[in-house]
Structure 1
Amino acid sequence: MENTPKVVVEPPDRRGLRRISIGGETVGSAWSLRGLRRTLKRLGYPKHMDVHDRSSMCWRGGDSATWPDRTWRRRTTGALLIAGLLGSMVLLVLIGIPDAFGALTFAQKIAGWVFILSGALEGVAALAVLDFWGKRQSKYTGAVVLLGVLIALGTHSMLCFLWLQEREYTRYLFVYIPLWFWSAWALWLLVREKAWRGTPHPKKFAAGVAATALLATVNLAYSVVYEPSATPVLFKLTVRFGKPVLDRDGQVLHVPLTFHTRNIGKVPAYVINNDFSIYGISAKLSDDVTGELKARREAMVGEADSAELHTEAPEWETISAGVTADPGTHFEPGEEFSYEKIISLPAGAEYDSIEAHLTMQLMRKDRGKIDAEFSTPHYSWDKTEGQFWCPPKECGEFVTYRGRLRHNNNLVNVTRRPVYVNALWTVDADDSYTYTFLSSSPDFTRPEDPGKAEKESSRESERYGVLSLSAYSTVSFAALLNPPAE
């Protein structure tokens, strides 16, 4: 025993852990006397070794009764660190998966993978807590845990900032706000523990973390702000009359009409709503010719299409109305679609001209995705439609298309309340109408505050890139009856 080196138990550190060394070499550490005996047994010492024998044991900074470790506190703190990191991991992965596998642009996919990889780092950091908050056998675990906490704090700060811009209710709010407070507490704890201590080249480590955070921020800003706004939506709508044909009896005039839509830009787009209207226009000659344009004021305030000298305000009559493309249809760049129709008119109709209108509401596909339910029509006069039913005396009669709208950057989805796109189409005795609006309210047909609902729709329409296009064509009725010879 005299030649056997003494077992030295060092003073407890600030957490209560005491290092064990033999012959100047560290062989382990212990939180308690029981842990010390397990370490000695593993090294081949007798199970019931006399720890008070000064010839074989040397106690520094306290004797065999000095074990200041608070087991329950240490384990609770470690469990909180692990729980927060695992919670952040799940949240980051849930945010990243839709973008990584479903985004339309490369930059948005990269942003999604950044979140997934950040979540993976959170998982690694959670495993590193077991060592760092334990006996710290590895000198790298402190830096790994610190990196995980910094990622969590940056991510949850960004989510809270995005939420504060609108302050809308979302169930994710009860996840990232508590996690923000957790990450702030965890960072304070790790700074107090100097978690970077022992890491080789700590300055390079800090520079690497800063560079990674900067790269992720620039990439995110590019995918969220710049790229979706830099490329415009370019569509070409055309309305073209074909060669008219009289029937055998010369009583009915058949006029071919073609509505053509083509995506001439680089951005795919959804058709939210659309309709066409065909009008017969007639105007009477005026007996009161004063030398001045008639109805100038009405023309200037928009109550008439133009000011005329010899004719009164024209009368418009709806001949035909309908839709060309189903709501929810999408056009990829270069894709085109034609809708052909033949309108039948009495050869003796007292029209001066025939005019065809095509209107279309589109939404950028690179900003959002509409659920498949949007393609299902709902009829307001059908009581079995549930929330879509509206008394005809109060609302009229219309067809509604409604679907959940999800932003292509999932950060928006987790910091904003759900948004639904609604497309209404109705035909009354005078005209055909379409109306498109975005709403988070379940009772979208009769909002409590119409003004507030209109502002919300305008804001969301701008966010998702909703725009309206139109085209029209006019032809003289006399030219239809007597087309020029070829």
Structure 2
Amino acid sequence: MSARERRRRLTLTTETLTTLVLLAGLLTAFAVLARIGLADIPGALTFTGRLTGGLAVLAALLVGLAAVAVTDYRGRNRVANSGAAMLAGVLTVALTAVMLIAVGVAGGDYRPTPGLWMLATNFWLWLALLGWSAWALGVLHRQHIWGQLPSAHGFALGVGVTAGLALVNFAYSQIYLPFALPVSVSAGAEFGTPRLAPDRRSVFVPLSVTVKNRGSVPVHVLGTMYQVSGRLGSFTPDAGGAGSTGGAGRLAGLLDGRAQLLRDTTVRGYELVGAGQLDSLRPGDRLEAGAETTEVRLVQVPVRAAYDAMVASSQVTVLRGDRATIYGSYPVRPSSRSTGAPAWVAEPGVAYLKYHAPISQASHLLGVTREQKYVTLWWVLGSPRGRSPWPYLAATVASAHQEDLGGIPAYEQKVSARYGLTTATSGTVEASRAALTPAP
């Protein structure tokens, strides 16, 4: 075989490999864009997410057309504008890769750590597509593709407008909407008229608990809580008068977390009388915008109980309904424990219920650029030495085995902004024991 024939065969082999690599990159990008678009058009939680899905399908068609044009452009070049179609496809792949990497970086899932990158879902794929598109543009540039375009300025303008629309759409859905339509949920608690039990040894005290979605977006209810406690206090007239020496001790009580400084009343503590969740609003339920639910729960208190006042409160924790969807066994199988909760949730030995489930993102586009996230809610019984003497709710959204991040204020703010994770508290409602004891 002559040297000329060897060079010819080598050239043919190189050309064939180049064509195959071009086809492989375009077909991979076509599959990615088609999967995102076909999933988001019917399944995205927002209109802008569905619109993004439509743009992804159009981009997939453009890349698919470029894949068809490869064989002609790299072969006999019989079809007019096959080079322009191929260039449009390569630029679409480049813009797609840049956008997907940018979404992951903005979401905080692609983050540098000492010595390596913590890589979330598909990062290497986006990086490979970006590198492939740079290589493909180099191949087309060496073939003087720019001079073969029928209208280079119009082509560049079209690419710029498309990229601008994609950027504006993403900024609108991910930045503007969460601030324009914030989550607004309220919880309320109110004592009703007490009734003496038939045996006249106890009193039934009704507690009316109300939860209302005052915002413009639906929410997923992660958990509800109500509690009624009895205050153990004694009243001694003039005990805190001018001659009293207990003022410093009472001020120290404020430093210990007590909410009141009472001159003539000594509060020894609180006893939990009743607590629970709402039956009409179970964990995992969806509360539509403007919807309201009210439930009356009865708490039985002994007539001879040593309480001088009754205290009640309620809480509800929600997740924004247009930012994520809960799936799995979250509302079905909570686990009851007294150890293993993060330090920011409860101290060791405090009993709690734990609800835990994976969530899906608002769109498939976000799902393929972020790590799998899990929503976790703790229904904590409370502890006098811990975060609260009464039951309370604690929740976070985090990657697997990263629930400890929930105690970091910056992370809590980030989760609240991204997923609308919000806990609404009714505040404390107090009533004297006399007011809650019916006349004989």
Q: Provide the alpha-carbon RMSD of the alignment.
A: 3.2
Equivalent position to 1:466, from 414, 417, 421: 421
- Give the match for residue 109 of structure 1: 50
Cα distance in 1 between the residues matched to 2:407 and 2:381? 27
Q: In the superposition, relative to structure 1, how do residues 157 and 318 fare at CA in structure 2: closer, same or farther (>3 Å)?
A: same
Instruction: Give the CA deviation at 1:269.
Output: 0.9
Instruction: Give the CA deviation at 1:367.
Output: 1.4
Equivalent position to 1:415, from 369, 376, 380: 369
Kindly report which structure 2 residues correspond to 1:233-244, keeping only aligned pairs within 5 A, or say none.
233-244=183-194
- Give the match for residue 150 of structure 2: 200
Structure 1 unaligned blocks of 5 or more? 1-63
Equivalent position to 2:127, from 173, 177, 186: 177
Judge conservation of contact 2:231–2:307 (CA < 8 Å) in 1: yes
Q: Deviations over 1:201-260 (max 9, x none)?
A: 332222122112211211121112111222111223221222211123422211222211
- Give the match for residue 123 of structure 1: 64
What secondary structure sits across from 1:91 in the alignment? helix
Instruction: Give the CA deviation at 1:453.
Output: 7.7
Which range moved further: 454-463 or 86-95?
Answer: 454-463
Instruction: Give the CA deviation at 1:109.
Output: 1.3
Q: Which has the larger radius of gyration?
A: 1
Q: In the superposition, relative to structure 1, how do residues 376 and 199 fare at CA in structure 2: closer, same or farther (>3 Å)?
A: same
Judge conservation of contact 2:350–2:381 (CA < 8 Å) in 1: no
Instruction: Give the CA deviation at 1:454.
Output: 7.8
- Give the match for residue 223 of structure 2: 273
- Give the match for residue 56 of structure 1: none
- Give the match for residue 344 of structure 2: none
Equivalent position to 2:318, from 333, 356, 362: 362
What secondary structure sits across from 1:372 in the alignment? coil
- Give the match for residue 328 of structure 2: 372
Cα distance in 2 between the residues matched to 1:433 and 1:181? 51
User: TM-score, normalising length from structure 2?
Assistant: 0.84
The AA in structure 2 aligned to 1:82 is: L
Bigger relative contact order (CA 8 A; separation at least 6) = 2
Q: In the superposition, relative to structure 1, how do residues 231 and 68 fare at CA in structure 2: closer, same or farther (>3 Å)?
A: same
Cα distance in 2 between the residues matched to 1:283 and 1:394? 29
What secondary structure sits across from 1:75 in the alignment? helix
- Give the match for residue 394 of structure 2: 435
What secondary structure sits across from 1:478 in the alignment? coil
Judge conservation of contact 2:311–2:429 (CA < 8 Å) in 1: yes
Kindly report which structure 2 residues correspond to 1:439-454, keeping only aligned pairs within 5 A, or say none.
439-442=398-401
The AA in structure 1 aligned to 2:399 is: S
Cα distance in 2 between the residues matched to 1:240 and 1:117? 55
Q: In the superposition, relative to structure 1, how do residues 470 and 155 fare at CA in structure 2: closer, same or farther (>3 Å)?
A: same
Instruction: Give the CA deviation at 1:338.
Output: 2.1
Kindly report which structure 2 residues correspond to 1:335-414, keeping only aligned pairs within 5 A, or say none.
335-380=291-336, 396-414=350-368
- The percent identity for this pair of structures is 29
Judge conservation of contact 2:41–2:51 (CA < 8 Å) in 1: yes
Give the count of matched residue pairs. 411
Which range moved further: 474-483 or 251-260?
Answer: 474-483
Equivalent position to 2:270, from 312, 316, 333: 316
User: TM-score, normalising length from structure 1?
Assistant: 0.76
Cα distance in 2 between the residues matched to 1:231 and 1:163? 24
Q: In the superposition, relative to structure 1, how do residues 433 and 451 fare at CA in structure 2: closer, same or farther (>3 Å)?
A: closer
Cα distance in 1 between the residues matched to 2:336 and 2:235? 43
Cα distance in 2 between the residues matched to 1:396 and 1:316? 17
Judge conservation of contact 2:377–2:395 (CA < 8 Å) in 1: yes
Cα distance in 2 between the residues matched to 1:200 and 1:328? 57
The AA in structure 1 aligned to 2:287 is: F
- Give the match for residue 20 of structure 2: 79
Q: In the superposition, relative to structure 1, how do residues 340 and 304 fare at CA in structure 2: closer, same or farther (>3 Å)?
A: same
Q: Deviations over 1:172-196 (max 9, x none)?
A: 1221111110011111211222324
Cα distance in 2 between the residues matched to 1:67 and 1:441? 56
Instruction: Give the CA deviation at 1:131.
Output: 0.9
Cα distance in 1 between the residues matched to 2:94 and 2:218? 36
Instruction: Give the CA deviation at 1:464.
Output: 1.4
Q: In the superposition, relative to structure 1, how do residues 408 and 133 fare at CA in structure 2: closer, same or farther (>3 Å)?
A: same
- Give the match for residue 303 of structure 1: 257
- Give the match for residue 93 of structure 1: 34
Cα distance in 2 between the residues matched to 1:298 and 1:214? 60
Cα distance in 2 between the residues matched to 1:247 and 1:400? 35
Instruction: Give the CA deviation at 1:354.
Output: 1.5
What secondary structure sits across from 1:374 in the alignment? coil
Cα distance in 1 between the residues matched to 2:395 and 2:321? 16
Structure 2 unaligned blocks of 5 or more? 112-117, 342-346, 384-388
What secondary structure sits across from 2:304 in the alignment? coil
- Give the match for residue 87 of structure 2: 146
Cα distance in 2 between the residues matched to 1:351 and 1:146? 80
